[in-house]
Amino acid sequence: MLLFSLGRAEVRIWPFAIGLVVLANAAMTRGPLGAYRKIGLVSHKAIDAVVIAACIVGAVAVRDHGTDTLVLVVVAIVQLFVVWLSRLAKQARD
């Protein structure tokens, strides 16, 4: 979502940097869908928290640009929801 929003973003550095981190994090995690499997799951969770914080900081930094702020806030909420659901799924498996 962040990388797709680059086409119309007024401040492009936030969605580009965060989107790149999210893409690299997903591709390099040691999981069933990881392509390179270099990052452990503990590091993956820490990077997820950093991504959520970066989205919030980015939304505050670009608060004068409504659409950019909205995209960053929505991504933070979606990422938080995904992290929360993945932890609930792990608890249910255990």
Q: What is the pLDDT of residue 80?
A: 94
SS3 45: helix
Per the structure, how many domains does the chain have?
1
pTM: 0.84
The residue with greater pLDDT, 66 or 56, is 56
* Amino acid (one-letter) located at 17: A
Encode pLDDT of 2-61 as tens digits: 888 888 888 888 889 999 999 999 899 887 777 888 888 889 899 999 999 999 999 999
Alpha-carbon span 14 to 12, nearest angstrom: 6
Q: Roughly how many angstroms between the first and final C-alpha of the chain, as a whole number?
A: 32
CA distance 93 to 40: 19
Q: Which domain holds residue 51?
A: 4-93
Contact predicate 45/83, CB 8 Å: yes
